[in-house]
Amino acid sequence: MAYVRARGVRFHVVDLGRDTGRSPVVMLHGLFTGSAASWFFTAAPALARTRRVRLPDWRGHGLTERTPTGYDTTTMADDLAALTADLPPFAIAGHSYGATVAVRFARAHPGRVTALALVDPPFSGVVAEIDPGRCAVPDAARDSVADLLRRTSLVYDLAADPPVTAAELAELAGLPLLAVVGSGSPFRSAADLVGQALPAARRHVLNGGHDLHITARARLTPLLGAFLEESHA
Amino acid sequence: MTSENDVLSEVVAMLAEVVGEDFLLEQTVGPDTTFNADLALESIEFVALAEKLQRHYGTRIEFAAFIAGLDLDQIMAMTVGDLTSYIEGRLAASREGAADAAAAPDTADTSAAYA
C-alpha cells in the first residue's frame, strides 16, 4: 500500500490480503471514473481473504499522477509490468479498459499470467460512443474526468488504439479465461468474440450495464472467486 | 488504552490528512457524520483513509474484512461512528487476545507441574 515511482511516474498502488499458496490477483479498473476504489469497495475485499490482491491506480486516475500522455494499451501494459515486477505469476481481473490492457499484457508476458477474468471488456469498438456524462459519475469525480478529457491525450490514445481482435484473443488459448458481460451493456457482444476465439473460455451474462463490479457486486464477486479457485490460480 | 474519544480524534486527524484541514474547518465531524452524504468523500479518498487506518492500527484491524462484510448500501451510508465502532471493537478484541496470550504460560506451567 503505497506510492511507487515507476517509469518516471508516481503511481498509487493498494495491496490487500497476504501471500498464501495461491496466485496473487491484480485487479485493474476502467477509465474516467475508475480507480483502485472500483475494486476496493466491491470484489477485492472478499478475494483478499484467500490471496494477495493488488489494486493499482492507472496513470491519470485515482491518486496516481495525471500524465499528459501514455493512455494507449501498450504503454499501460508496460506500466502494469513495472507495477507487478515483485510478484510471482498472478491472475488478473480487469474491468473495461483494464480488461483490454490485461489482454495486451498477457500476450506480451505469457509466463506472468495464471488466469484472466475480463469484466465487460470493451472489445466491440464502440468506446468512442461512451459518453462520460451519461455514466454513473459521482459528482465529486467530475472534475478529474474533465481534466482527463481536456488536459491529456487519453481520448486520442483511445481512438488510435487497435481494438482487440478474435485472432489476438486466440493467442491466449491455454490460459484459463473468464468473460463476464452485462445484459444491458454496449459491450455485451464481447462475450461472443471471446467465444469465437476461445471456445474453452467461461462466459457469463449478468443482469446489468457496464459497471457490473458495482451493480452486480453480489453475483460477480463469488463468480471471480470461484473462477480463480477452479483455475488453480 | 485507547478510549472511544481517542479513536474518533485519530480518525478525524487522518481524515484531515486526506481531505485537508481547511475542508474540515467547515464541518463538525461526529459519530453521525456520513462519509458520502455529509463529507462528500470521493471513493479514492476513502481508500486513502483506509490505508492510513491500516498503517496506524496495523494487524489489529482488517479494513478489507470490514468492507467485505458490508453491502454497497451500507458502505454508501457509512458514518464516522460506524467506522470508529468497528475499530474500537477490534482494538478491544486485540487487548483481550493479548491478555489471553499473557495468561497462557501460566496454564502451561501448571500442566507441566502435573505431568
pLDDT tens for each residue of chain B, 115 residues long: 556 679 999 999 999 999 988 888 888 899 999 999 999 999 999 999 999 999 999 999 999 999 999 999 999 999 999 999 999 999 999 998 888 777 665 544 443 333 3
Percent over 70 (pLDDT), chain A: 92
- The total number of residues shown for chain A amounts to 233
Sketch the domain layout of chain A as residue ranges.
Answer: 2-230
Q: Give the closest-approach CA distance of A62 to chain B in angstroms.
A: 6
CA pair distance A211, A205, nearest whole angstrom: 13
Amino acid A143: pLDDT: 79
Residues of B in contact with A36 (CB under 8 A): 44, 47
Model confidence at A125, pLDDT cuts 50, 70, 90, reads low
Domains and CATH numbers, chain B: 4-97 (1.10.1200.10)
Q: Please tell me whether residue A221 adopts helix, strand or coil conformation.
A: helix
Contact state of B48 with A63 under an 8 Å Cβ cutoff: yes
Query: What are the cell numbers at A163?
Result: 481494438
Q: Give the closest-approach CA distance of B43 to chain A in angstroms.
A: 6
Amino acid B5: pLDDT: 73
Q: ∠A28-A29-A34 over CA atoms, to 5°?
A: 160
Residue A94 CB contacts under 8 Å (≥ 6 apart), including other chains: A27, A28, A100, A101, A102, A116, A117, A118, A119, A121
Q: Reply yes or no on domain A2-230 having CATH 3.40.50.1820.
A: yes
Contact state of B71 with A14 under an 8 Å Cβ cutoff: no
Q: DSSP for A93-106?
A: EEETHHHHHHHHHH
Question: Taking residues A41-56, what's their average pLDDT?
Answer: 97
| A99 to A105, A146, A178, B49: CA distances (angstroms) | 10, 23, 11, 27
What tens digit of pLDDT does each residue of A86-99 get? Answer: 999 999 999 999 99
Contact state of A16 with B64 under an 8 Å Cβ cutoff: yes
Residue A226 CB contacts under 8 Å (≥ 6 apart), including other chains: none
* Contact with chain A for residue B71, Cβ under 8 A: yes
